[in-house]
Amino acid sequence: MKRMVHFAALAALAMSCDALAVGSIANVAIIDRDSGVTLDAHYFHGEYWVAGTPGGRYAIEIRNCIGGRLLAVTSVDGVNVLSGATAGWNQSGYVFNPGERYQVTGWRKSDAEVAAFTFTDAANSYAERTGRPANVGVIGVAVFRERPPPTVYAPRIAQSAREAPAPLAGGAGGFKGAMAGQSTSVAGRTAAASAGAPATASVSPANTPGAKLGTGHGEREYSHVEYTEFRRLQPEPDEVIRIRYDSLDNLVAMGIVGRPRPTPPAPNAFPGSQERNYVPDPPG
């Protein structure tokens, strides 16, 4: 069977799902790793947008909000973050236990290392540098529920030869095996790439004053994962979460967010007298 990437003890247990994040089966939020702040998701014309800081590192935080395991096939700028292939739903992804959350911090380079996600000019993005600039500026998570294992029924105790139960299919031991031809989710580095359709823009690029933001291939970092098996409940995702991003200046120019207004300093009624509320430092 093919296997899916599963994070080990690094994943933290979530007690409840974040109502401010995007998604319902899974919650997705974009984290500024330099400040630890969750970026605000602005809803505009049917899409969610976040403002990234050029040069800053970011993470995609995914949280499982249901009682079963989930598979999250994750893409940045139309590229699968695990394999580097042009993103498709049938590819490898991260597996989440119930209530689990994990921060995807970069392009996976091995079982123990990633290249950090960094906000950068679109011309320097990993997608454009690998000849795929059409979908720069979008983060996607396709979420799949897991197919439950086949039900196994224990035979009754035979009261007589006439009531003796028939043997269960699947061989010795009385346990039913997996159905013939039942496929697992595509996983690992052997997954075939499928071309993704270009993102549909809801705002004209002509309204964007500055360089468009993309995601770069940053410094290598430690990030350990393990492999696990996962059978998808259905071939189509149960939920697709899509978050677009650009610089704050561009989001303001497109009318997605308002320009923050500086707060004027409060006037001091007694500027010549400074009150001392705490213990002062000793001399020297």
Q: Which pLDDT band holds residue 157 (cuts at 50, 70, 90)?
A: low
Query: Mean pLDDT over all residues of the chain?
Result: 78
Per-residue pLDDT at 271: 79
Per-residue pLDDT at 17: 57
What is the rounded CA–CA span in Å between residue 105 and residue 30? 10
Domain locations in the chain as residue ranges: 4-149+184-253
For the residues 273-277, what does the mean pLDDT come to? 71
**Nearest residue to 102 (alpha-carbon basis) of 57, 59, 65, 140:** 59
Helical ranges in 202-274 per DSSP H? 248-253
Strand ranges inside the chain, DSSP E: 4-7, 12-13, 26-32, 42-44, 47-52, 58-64, 70-76, 79-80, 94-96, 100-104, 106-110, 113-121, 138-145, 213-222, 225-228, 239-247
For the residues 103-129, what does the mean pLDDT come to? 95
Whether the full predicted model's pTM is greater than 0.85, yes or no, is: no
